[in-house]
Amino acid sequence: MSETNEIKVAVDAIVFGYQQNTLFVLLVKQKFGQMKGTWVLPGGFVLKHESLIEAVTRELQEEAGIQVNYLEQLYTFGDNIHRDPRFRVISVAYFALVNPNNFALVEQNDTDAEEAQWFAIDRIPRLGYDHNEIIKVAHQRIKNKLTYQPIGFDLLADEFPFSDLESLYTIILEQDIDRRNFRKKILSLGFIEETDTLVANTGSGRPARLFRFNKDTYNQLLSKGFHFEIKFA
């Protein structure tokens, strides 16, 4: 017996931002339909002429007015056939890590998003669809990746005190790290450079130097293969 295929394909974007020792997630408020007034992840249906990455890039531009340089595919959500109350939708989720200071959220008129806003990871409201679950999966993915791949530099300023990098790992991983081992390990790999810029120390110690991420050195290490492991306190 033939059956009409009414399954739609969508994309959702989980954009993490880090600022003032807090991890944030970008959300948008629905303007129309059954979810009007509800916060959700940026996303929407894939158009016939689009690839998945083109669709999620477009949705971020339309709903939040931002362009993210790199998005990584997370997972396909569709086992729950009632995840969308209108009809069956399979969503391919992508995640990104960015520094919110580098983005200005812009309200768009020709979209179904009323506004865009950053929410602290521990203050995310009840979202539409299964988006709370999607965020949990994405959060766990970046926690796992941080233990074997130094991906946190996209969340920091171009130059940063080393303590900011330590705090970022502690907050995202939600547990204390062995700071002495962490600093020794990171600096030994050579993709963190000490700069000549000093930052005032709020304590009684000497001013600390700022550091920066050397992407070329990091890419060279990737091509050769290297072991990166975080030890917890």
The pair of three-digit structure tokens given for residue 40, joined into one six-digit string = 């959700």
Residues 95 and 105: their CA atoms lie apart, in Å, by 17
154 domain residue, yes or no: no
Q: Are 25 and 118 in contact (CB under 8 A)?
A: yes
Residues 144 and 142: their CA atoms lie apart, in Å, by 5
pLDDT for position 2: 53
Active-site residue, 107 included = no
Residues 78, 19: one domain?
yes
Residues 137, 166: one domain?
no
Q: How many CB atoms sit inside 10 A of residue 24's CB? A: 21
Q: Averaged in consecutive runs of 10 residues, what is the pLDDT profile of the chain (233 residues)? A: 72 93 93 87 94 96 90 92 83 93 77 88 94 96 85 84 90 89 88 86 71 88 76 74
Residues 44, 125: one domain?
yes
Residues 212 and 113: their CA atoms lie apart, in Å, by 36
pLDDT for position 153: 82
pLDDT for position 203: 60
196 domain residue, yes or no: yes
Vertex 206: Cα angle to 204 and 209 (nearest 5): 135
Q: Which residue has the tokens 């339909």?
A: 33
Q: Are 208 and 163 in contact (CB under 8 A)?
A: yes
According to DSSP, residue 101 is labeled G
pLDDT for position 109: 66
Report which of 195, 190, 221, 227 is spatially closest to residue 210, judged by C-alpha positions. Answer: 195
Our count of domains for the chain comes to 2
Range of the domain at 181: 159-224
Length of the chain: 233
pLDDT for position 58: 94
Residues 130, 189: one domain?
no
Report which of 65, 67, 68, 56 is spatially closest to residue 106, judged by C-alpha positions. Answer: 65
Beta bridge partners of 89: 8
From 106, 121, 146, give the residue that closes a domain: 146
List 50, 72, 115, 166, catalytic entry:
115
From 146, 172, 194, give the residue that closes a domain: 146
* CATH number of 198's domain: 1.10.10.10
pLDDT for position 1: 47
Report which of 5, 23, 6 is spatially closest to residue 14, judged by C-alpha positions. Answer: 23
Residues 190, 91: one domain?
no
From 87, 119, 146, give the residue that closes a domain: 146
Q: Which helix (H) or strand (E) holds 197?
A: strand 192-199
